[in-house]
Structure formats: C-alpha cells, structure tokens
Amino acid sequence: MENAVLILVAEDEQVIRELLGVTLEEDGYTVVLAKSGEEAVELLDKGTDAKGLVTDVSLGGKRALTGWDLARHARELNPDIAIVYLSGDSSVDWPVQGVPKSVMVSKPFAMSQISTALATLLNEAG
C-alpha cells in the first residue's frame, strides 16, 4: 500500500508490539515498530513521516524515556501527529502528562479500542 498512513508503534513488550503491528496493518496502515523510546526517537529524528504514534507509557531502554517524553518529542516534530497512549498503571497521569488531543487506552485492552482511537484522532486531524 503505497499511500497508506504510517503509524509508529513504541512498545517494549514484544507480544503486544507485534500484535499491535499486525492489527494496524490489517486496518490498512503501514506500521513501523520500536521496542524502546530511544529507538522510536531515532526513527522520528530520521524523518519517519509517521501520522500516528501508539506508545506504551512505560518503555524500556537505556535512557528510560517514557511514552510521555516520546509523545512530546513527536509533537515537536509534527504538531498534528495522532497520539494513543497505552498503560496498565499510568492512566491517572494522562491529564497532566499527556499531550493535547491524545487518547489514553488502559491495559488490558481490546485491539479494536486502539483502532478506533487512532482512526478518530486521524480523522480529527484531517
């Protein structure tokens, strides 16, 4: 799909990361997977033209970047990027830490919740 919308998925849990990738590809998106915040930042800094970011809040990695940090960085590069946060324990921090016009999905979740949240944000961005 040449004109598919590119989505960056940042998730340190391999099973969840791969399942998100498959689900979003089935939804028609082109997906790039990152296993840490640092890897996701590198992809964004290289000019990855992601229109959406699905990120766990608690990401592994050497610098311990969080999903909050990653989303702020992504928005600095692209103010219109759609952001979907995933978390098992940080949902209460979303109103303070989350970027505007983002969605928080609590773990455990149904994959359809991610698809719906992402599609809604992308449609709002135009």
Banded pLDDT at 1 (limits 50, 70, 90): very low
Residue 43's domain spans which residues? Answer: 6-125
Banded pLDDT at 57 (limits 50, 70, 90): very high
Model pTM?
A: 0.94
Distance CA 119, CA 115 (A): 6
Domain count for the chain, please give it.
1
Q: Which residue has the higher pLDDT, 102 or 48?
A: 102
For residue 113, what is the domain's CATH number?
Answer: 3.40.50.2300
Contact 51, 122 (CB under 8 A): yes
Report if residue 109 sits inside a domain: yes
Amino acid at 97: Q
Report if residue 1 sits inside a domain: no
User: pLDDT digit string (tens) for 99-125?
Assistant: 999 999 999 999 999 999 999 999 997
